[in-house]
Structure 1
Amino acid sequence: MQTSPTAARPDGARRDYFPALTGLRAVAAGLVLLHHFNPFAPERFGWRLHSLAAETHIGVTVFFVLSGFLIGYRYLGQPVALRRYFANRFARIYPLYFLLTTLTFALLRWQGKPVFLGEYLLNITFLRGLFEQYVYTGIGQGWSLTVEEMFYLSAPLAFLLIRRNARWLWVLPLALVAVGIGLVLLCRLHPWHGLFGSFDFLFQFTYPGRAVEFFVGVGLAWWLRRGAGPWAPGWLTYVGAMGVLLCLGALSLLHGPQIGAFGVLRPAGMFLNNVLLPLLGIGPLLWGLVQENTWLSRWLSSRPLVLLGKSSYAFYLIHMGAVQELVHRWLGSSFLTVLALYGLSMALYWLIEEPLNHWLRRALGRPAPAAPALVR
């Protein structure tokens, strides 16, 4: 068994950056692209292949487990400096999202489509992801950022509890699911724009319903931080990859014989996607990629995959919606549109996302100056 050089170093220090996980982000974004633009028409390729590609929305689940792991691995082992923590989260997520959301609403207005100030405000504050009526407004796929932001907001308190008692690792996600169920039961009595409007909505679009995914990642980070350290049996990468494929196949078997009848819409599919896939697939895969030196980890750590991974956030935001439609209208080819979107996402990363990220981290994370002493 060989351990990855990114997992541990001879002096015992650990790194918080794993190139293979950055490459995995590129794969996850590609899976979401395949889900949204399934090229396998059932009348030509058959329902089995179409259904398999249709369930590649699991890329979002990969993102959620990854977020839990990376935030947990960085912050679980030490008290969280809240100012710097929230400054870093804001700088990483918000600037590009705000700019692209504003551009999206401007393009919608330019195209003559109805645009409402309330929808725009719900989008730029991430609140739209709490309402069924507004979940797909603006950058439609951006609903997942509401889920991410709720995890980021609650993570410091969760990490404090976990450091005191590890049982919170499983108590917290179960408690969040219970709170989500309570919110649905309460909100159904007084429906308001679909706020926690149904159990389907809870387990597909909200943080309480999808908390298990994040806490699988957090649990793995806690385990590795505790000193599971450089140990790995040598086959976790492949077991995890096989688990992901098996869960994907199971979801495709639950897919109905109509376009859009996704397996994840069924209760069994939700359990597969939200619980079994993180536990039996993505979790072991991340552990293996961090600890083992395999051909898969080397491929994901390659320069092209790492570059695509670094720009995957920008790609995720533009791969579907007003920007994508405008590019497709100019080029007239789906293949050329995808290539152009990958190129545009890299440009956005280099020219906007990364410079703003660094600048805001410095500006917002800087300690407040001490109050001047009174002159006597």
Structure 2
Amino acid sequence: MRIDELTFFRYIAASIVVIFHFGTDATGFRGALAAGPQMVTFFFVLSGFVMGISYFNKEINNKSYWWARIARIMPVYILAIVLMVTSSYLQGKEVDNLSLVLNLSLLQAWFSPHPLSINGTGWSLSVEAFFYLTFPFLLYGIKSRNLSVKHMMVASLLVWGVTQIITTGVLSAGFYGGFPSFSHDLIYYFPLTHFCSFIIGIYGAMWVLEKNYLITNNTVSFFIVGVSTAILVILLNNETEISNFFELEFAFSSSFFAPLFLLFIIAVSICRSQLIRMFSARPLLLLGEASFSLYILQIPIHQIYEKYIVGDLGLSPLSNFTLFFVILTITSIGSFLLFEKPAMNFIKYSLPTFIRKTASRSN
């Protein structure tokens, strides 16, 4: 089961992350349009959802599963590290060897102060790697205990609730040390803090697979997706008001919105009308497929842009960001078509065949 309509929204989420990092002052965007950290929660929920949809009704072959995960994320991830290390070298800056080792092994999010080292956006891939590691065990546990969708809903919301109680307690009780600090890394980057988002995504996949709802009416589809989007936007635009109302500090960018992101993902998944299927048009699908390159390469491409492209053009802040964003989008599409996809196919298919042939000849 493949839900192409969701792919384009990966591009929207990745673009919001780029705006958060480089374009808030230039664009004046606030709230939902600049909610970069919150969009990472969307990626985590979507990851659990897609993994659940893809594997829940299959037997996982561990060898092919791991090889597919490596092929999917590592080529562009390593490319970004190479670009950042090269940039540091050209600028005469030292690269911390421990940070480099942790980044190459996808462990940086586990150890403060390293989550944002080398390539800052890479911390989320460190978290994703933990999700990939645990997924086969989660799936085995769900199936072996014959957990129902209702039981999984309770379990996922319980894990999410406990996580939010802990992070809210740390923020509201005066233990938070600000950025940068150990407490900041623990609340916002530590993989276990975001595990609830992944589990919620798996629950969503179970729900969709079991219910098998199919809404084809354009009006109903527009209403369902529109309402779920409106709820998200309203809450993202009013985080301060939410904190003031409850008189608590919430970690909004640390899986707080995971249940609402799941509602949006489910809404798009069950609405199969012509209106919603417009989001699976080939140009939009291509943007979604290129979103991983856009997300992971944004910092090195921005450094290249600032040093070698923008120069003395005298652009206004908005024009400067717009030009960067267009170049980043074009570069990410090129990266997907010319590097990411070929490298993924080579690692996933050609390399194992080459290794087998080499091994058979040596024997």
Question: Do both share a fold (TM > 0.5)?
Answer: yes
CA-CA distance at 1:51 after TM superposition = 5.2
- Give 2:190's match in structure 1, choosing from 200, 203, 206: 206
In the TM superposition, 1:230-245 aligns within 5 A as 230=214, 234=221, 235-245=223-233
2:16 is aligned with 1:36: no
The 1:131/1:290 distance shift into structure 2, 3 A limit, reads same
CA-CA distance at 1:363 after TM superposition = 4.5
Count residues in correspondence: 326
Q: Which residue of 1 aligns with 2:173?
A: none
Amino acid at match of 2:305: V
Amino acid at match of 2:72: R
2:10 is aligned with 1:25: yes
Amino acid at match of 2:347: L
* Residues 11-48 of structure 1, C-alpha deviations (whole Å, 9 max, x = no match): xxxx2x2221110111110111111123347xx96xxx
2:288 is aligned with 1:301: no
Amino acid at match of 2:344: N
| Long gaps (5+) in structure 1 | 1-14, 186-193, 257-265
* Residues 315-356 of structure 1, C-alpha deviations (whole Å, 9 max, x = no match): 101212x33111222221332222111111111111111011
Q: Which residue of 1 aligns with 2:130?
A: 150
Structure with more of its chain in helix, by fraction: 2
The 1:349/1:271 distance shift into structure 2, 3 A limit, reads closer
TM-score relative to the length of structure 1: 0.76
| Long gaps (5+) in structure 2 | 171-178, 311-319
> Which secondary structure state, in structure 1, belongs to the residue aligned with residue 237 of structure 2?
helix
Cα distance in 2 between the residues matched to 1:107 and 1:212: 36
Contact kept, 8 Å, 1:120 with 1:138, in 2: the verdict is yes
The 1:159/1:231 distance shift into structure 2, 3 A limit, reads farther
CA-CA distance at 1:202 after TM superposition = 2.9
Contact kept, 8 Å, 1:87 with 1:365, in 2: the verdict is no
Q: Which residue of 2 aligns with 1:270?
A: 251
Cα distance in 1 between the residues matched to 2:53 and 2:66: 16
- Give 1:326's match in structure 2, choosing from 258, 279, 304: 304
The 1:247/1:359 distance shift into structure 2, 3 A limit, reads same
CA-CA distance at 1:173 after TM superposition = 7.6
The 1:300/1:365 distance shift into structure 2, 3 A limit, reads farther
Contact kept, 8 Å, 2:215 with 2:273, in 1: the verdict is no
TM-score relative to the length of structure 2: 0.79
Contact kept, 8 Å, 2:38 with 2:255, in 1: the verdict is no
CA-CA distance at 1:78 after TM superposition = 2.2
Contact kept, 8 Å, 1:79 with 1:160, in 2: the verdict is no
- Give 2:349's match in structure 1, choosing from 340, 362, 369: 362
Q: Percent of counterpart pairs with the same letter?
A: 25
Contact kept, 8 Å, 2:75 with 2:340, in 1: the verdict is yes
Cα distance in 2 between the residues matched to 1:267 and 1:154: 32
In the TM superposition, 1:86-235 aligns within 5 A as 86-164=66-144, 165-166=146-147, 167=151, 170-171=154-155, 197-198=182-183, 200-230=184-214, 234=221, 235=223
The 1:272/1:88 distance shift into structure 2, 3 A limit, reads closer
Contact kept, 8 Å, 2:4 with 2:285, in 1: the verdict is yes
The 1:65/1:172 distance shift into structure 2, 3 A limit, reads closer
Contact kept, 8 Å, 1:67 with 1:217, in 2: the verdict is yes
> Which secondary structure state, in structure 1, belongs to the residue aligned with residue 331 of structure 2?
helix
Cα distance in 1 between the residues matched to 2:242 and 2:235: 11
- Give 2:265's match in structure 1, choosing from 264, 286, 305: 286
Amino acid at match of 2:15: G
Cα distance in 1 between the residues matched to 2:8 and 2:284: 5
Contact kept, 8 Å, 2:239 with 2:252, in 1: the verdict is no
Cα distance in 2 between the residues matched to 1:85 and 1:175: 26
The 1:77/1:102 distance shift into structure 2, 3 A limit, reads same
- Give 1:250's match in structure 2, choosing from 238, 242, 245: 238
